[in-house]
Chain A
Amino acid sequence: MMTTLSQIGGMIRYEALMQFRRRTLILIAAFFTVGMIVLNSTLLRSSLGVVIDVNIDGEQVTTITRSPSGELLSETTTIPAGVNFPRWLVDVDVEMVSNTYALLMGFIPGLIVLTMACLAMLTEIIPLDYRFKVDELLQAAPLSKAAYLAGKVLSVWLGLTLGLSFGAVLIVASAWVQFGAVDLWLTARFWVLVILPIAFVASGIAVLIGGLAKTRRAALFIGIAPLPVIVTYGIFLLVRAVMANLIFMSPNAPAYDSYAAASAGLISSYGETVLTFIAVLVAVWIALWGVFRVRAA
C-alpha cells in the first residue's frame, strides 16, 4: 500500500512537472482567466445595470438601479401573483449580492469553454507515453493499471487546481476593481464546489478517454467528438441553475427566506449537475481500466 501511494505521489509530482514544462495546463488556466476578465469587463457591465437597493411596501417593490453609465434609476412595480419575490434582498447589501451573482453568472460560459479546452488539450496525456516510447518502461515497472490511471488524472488535477486558483485570484480581483465588492465566501464556495469539480471531471474524462488512442491526433479527435454533447449539457446547466436562481422575480424561482439559503440553493443546483458528471467520470474510469487490462492480455 505504501509503495502504491508512493508511486502515485511520484507520478503526480513528475507528470505535473512535465505538464507545466509543456505549458498545456498554463495555457488552459490562462485562457480561462483572461477570458473571464474580458467577459466581466465587457459583456456583463455593458448590458446589465446593478441593483443597489430594494424596498418592499406590501406588494409594491421599489428597486434602485445604477445603469452602466452611472445614472441611478428608481422603478416601482407590483409583485405579480404567484411570483416568489426574494424578500431576503431587503436585509442584505444588494449591490454586493448583485455583483457576486453577476460574477458567478459569468463563470457559466467560462466553464463551458474550460470544459472544451480540457477535452481538446488533455486527451494527449496518455498517448504521449506512446509517442515518447516510455510505455514499455512503465509497463515493466511494478505499477498497477489503477495506480497508473490515478497518477495521470491526479497530476492533471493538481496542475489545474494550481492554475485555476491563481486565475481565481486574478478574476475576483479584477471583478472587485470593475464591479465593486463581491461576496468572497460565496465565490470561494462556488469555486471549490462547482468550478473545480467540473474542471476535474472534464479533465479526468479527457485524460481517460484519450488513453484509447495511441497517437495525439487520434486523441484530439476523441476529445473533440463529445464537444457538442458537452456544449448542449452546458446550456442546460445554464438554464437550470441560472434561470431558477438569478432571475429572482420568476414563478419558478425558489422561495428562499434568506441570502444564506439562496446562496446554498445556487451551489446545490450546480452540485446536482456536477454529480452526474462525476458518475460519468467513474464509469469512464472503470471502462478504461478494463480496456487497459484487456490490451495487456
Chain B
Amino acid sequence: MIEVHGLTKTYRGGVKALSGIDLTIGTGMFGLVGPNGAGKTTLMRILAGLLRPSNGAARVFGHDLATAAGRHDAKAILGYLPQELGLYPNLNAYEFLDYMAILKGIIDAKERRRQIDDLLGKVHLTDAAKRRLKTYSGGMKRRIGIAQALLGNPKLLIVDEPTSGLDPEERVRFRNLLSDMAIDRTIILSTHIVEDISQSCNDLAVMKAGAVVFRGAPSDLIRAARGHVWMIQNGATRPDERLTIVSSVQLASGVQYRVMGDVSAYPNAQLAEPTLEDGYLFLMRTEAGTLQPV
C-alpha cells in the first residue's frame, strides 16, 4: 500500500513539479499517465526514495520516506526501472544482474544465480547472457533493465516508460509479464502509451501540471468520453479547427477522421465507441478548456 498526502515538490529556481498530491495505491497494476512535465517522473522518483518532497508525506508499505531509515527500508522492497536507463557497457548481462542483485541485498550466491537465470529466461536473453552490454540493441538493454527491476522479488515495482524502445511483440510480452507479477504486489506504470495502461491496469491516475486530474478505473475515463467521439468523412479538406482530431485514415473515397467536439456542421458524423486514448484526450482537452462537453 502506497499512501501519499499533500505531496509537494518545488525544484531550485521555483519550478513547482508537484502541488499537493493525494493518492492511495493498493495491490495490482496502477497506471500513471499525463503529458510531459505533468510531474509523473518526479512523483515516481520520490516514491523510489531518490528525491525528497518539499512538503507532504509519503509511506511505502508502512515505511515513512521522510526518514533515512524509512527510505532505506522502502528501497529494500523496491524494483525500479528509470526512464533513462543506463548500463555498464563493460559488463555482460549476467555480471550486471549479479552486481545489481548484490546491491539489492541478495547475499546468497545460489539464490542470486537462480533469480538471474529465471529472469534472463523471462526476458528472453539467456543466449546473450555472456555478451558485453555495449553490444546490446536498445530493446535488449530495456529488457535487461526490466530484469534488474524484478530482482529480489520486489513488493513495489516502479517502471517509467518501460516499453519505449521495445518492438510490438516485446511490448505485449512485457505487459503480460507485469500483469502476471501484479497479483501480490504493487506496480506503478508510467507511460505515454495509453494502450499499455488500457491493456494491463485496473486503476489509474492522470496527472497534469503537478496535480492529479483524474483517478479511477480505465472504464470510468472511457465512460467520460462517451458521446463525444465521432467519425466523419471529409473528402480532401481538414475538419473544422475547433474539432480535436484523434486520428485520420486515408480511404479511397477521402479521409476518415476520428474527432471530438461539436460536429453539428457534419450531418454524416457517426458516434463512435471511445477508447481509453479518447478518454485521456477528452480529459486533457476538457481540463485545458478547449473542449466543452456537449
Would you give the 0/1 interface string for A113-144, flagging 1 where the beta carbon is closer than 8 Å to chain B? 00000000000000000001111111111111
Is B80 an interface residue when CB atoms closer than 8 A count as contact?
A: yes
Would you give the 0/1 interface string for A249-284, flagging 1 where the beta carbon is closer than 8 Å to chain B? 000000000000000000000000000000000000
Is A2 an interface residue when CB atoms closer than 8 A count as contact?
A: yes
Shortest CB distance A19–B (Å): 9
Interchain CB contact (< 8 A) of B100 among A18, A133, A137, A297: A137
B71-89 residues with Cβ-Cβ distance < 8 A to A are: 72-73, 75-76, 78, 80, 82, 84-89
Task: List chain A residues, Cβ under 8 A from B91.
Answer: 14, 17-18
Is A3 an interface residue when CB atoms closer than 8 A count as contact?
A: yes
Would you give the 0/1 interface string for B85-124, flagging 1 where the beta carbon is closer than 8 Å to chain A? 1111111000100111011110100000000000000000
Q: Are A132 and B89 in contact (CB under 8 A)?
A: yes
Task: List chain B residues, Cβ under 8 A from A11.
Answer: 99, 102-103
Q: Are A140 and B105 in contact (CB under 8 A)?
A: no
Is A84 an interface residue when CB atoms closer than 8 A count as contact?
A: no
Chain A residue total in the interface (Cβ 8 A) = 27
Residue of A nearest to B133 (CB): A132
Interchain CB contact (< 8 A) of B80 among A7, A136, A296: A136
Whether A132 touches B105, Cβ cut-off 8 Å, given contacts A137-B80, A296-B52, is no
Task: List chain B residues, Cβ under 8 A from A138.
Answer: 103
Task: List chain A residues, Cβ under 8 A from B80.
Answer: 136-137, 140
Q: Main secondary structure on chain A at its contact with chain B?
A: helix
Q: Are A143 and B103 in contact (CB under 8 A)?
A: yes
Chain B interface size band reads 20 to 34
Shortest CB distance A12–B (Å): 10
Would you give the 0/1 interface string for A88-117, flagging 1 where the beta carbon is closer than 8 Å to chain B? 000000000000000000000000000000
Q: Are B102 and A6 in contact (CB under 8 A)?
A: yes
Q: Are B103 and A10 in contact (CB under 8 A)?
A: yes
Residue of B nearest to A10 (CB): B102
Interchain CB contact (< 8 A) of B86 among A3, A9, A133: A133
Shortest CB distance B56–A (Å): 15
Residue of A nearest to B104 (CB): A141
Residue of B nearest to A130 (CB): B86
Q: Are B104 and A142 in contact (CB under 8 A)?
A: yes
Is B148 an interface residue when CB atoms closer than 8 A count as contact?
A: yes
Is B49 an interface residue when CB atoms closer than 8 A count as contact?
A: yes
Task: List chain B residues, Cβ under 8 A from A139.
Answer: 49-50
Task: List chain A residues, Cβ under 8 A from B88.
Answer: 14, 18, 132, 134
Shortest CB distance A280–B (Å): 28
A1-36 residues with Cβ-Cβ distance < 8 A to B are: 2-3, 6-7, 9-11, 14, 17-18, 21-22
Residue of B nearest to A19 (CB): B90
Would you give the 0/1 interface string for B191-212, flagging 1 where the beta carbon is closer than 8 Å to chain A? 0000000000000000000000
Task: List chain B residues, Cβ under 8 A from A137.
Answer: 80, 82, 85-86, 100, 148
Q: Are A2 and B89 in contact (CB under 8 A)?
A: no
Residue of B nearest to A136 (CB): B82
B126-153 residues with Cβ-Cβ distance < 8 A to A are: 148
Is B48 an interface residue when CB atoms closer than 8 A count as contact?
A: yes
Shortest CB distance A117–B (Å): 21
Task: List chain B residues, Cβ under 8 A from A140.
Answer: 48-50, 75, 78, 80, 82
Q: Are B75 and A141 in contact (CB under 8 A)?
A: yes
Interchain CB contact (< 8 A) of A141 among B90, B95, B103: B103
Q: Are B105 and A7 in contact (CB under 8 A)?
A: yes
Whether A297 touches B52, Cβ cut-off 8 Å, given contacts A132-B86, A132-B87, is yes
Task: List chain B residues, Cβ under 8 A from A144.
Answer: 72
Assembly CA distance A97 to B73 (angstroms)? 59
Task: List chain A residues, Cβ under 8 A from B72.
Answer: 142, 144
Q: Are A2 and B148 in contact (CB under 8 A)?
A: no
Task: List chain B residues, Cβ under 8 A from A22.
Answer: 90
Residue of B nearest to A6 (CB): B107
Shortest CB distance A284–B (Å): 23
Q: Are B87 and A134 in contact (CB under 8 A)?
A: yes
Task: List chain B residues, Cβ under 8 A from A17.
Answer: 90-91, 95
Q: Which of B52, B72, B87, B88 has the most chain A CB atoms inside 10 A of its CB?
A: B88
Q: Are A134 and B86 in contact (CB under 8 A)?
A: yes
Shortest CB distance A101–B (Å): 42
- 14 A–B contact pairs at CB < 8 A? A3-B105, A10-B99, A10-B103, A17-B90, A18-B88, A18-B91, A134-B86, A134-B87, A136-B50, A137-B86, A140-B78, A142-B73, A142-B76, A143-B103
New A-B contacts (5) at CB < 8 Å, excluding given A132-B87, A140-B80, A142-B73:
A14-B88, A133-B85, A134-B86, A134-B88, A144-B72
Which 8 A-B pairs give the minimum distances between C-beta atoms?
A133-B86, A10-B102, A140-B80, A141-B103, A142-B75, A21-B90, A136-B82, A142-B76
Residues of B at the A interface (CB closer than 8 Å) are 45, 48-50, 52, 72-73, 75-76, 78, 80, 82, 84-91, 95, 98-100, 102-105, 107, 148
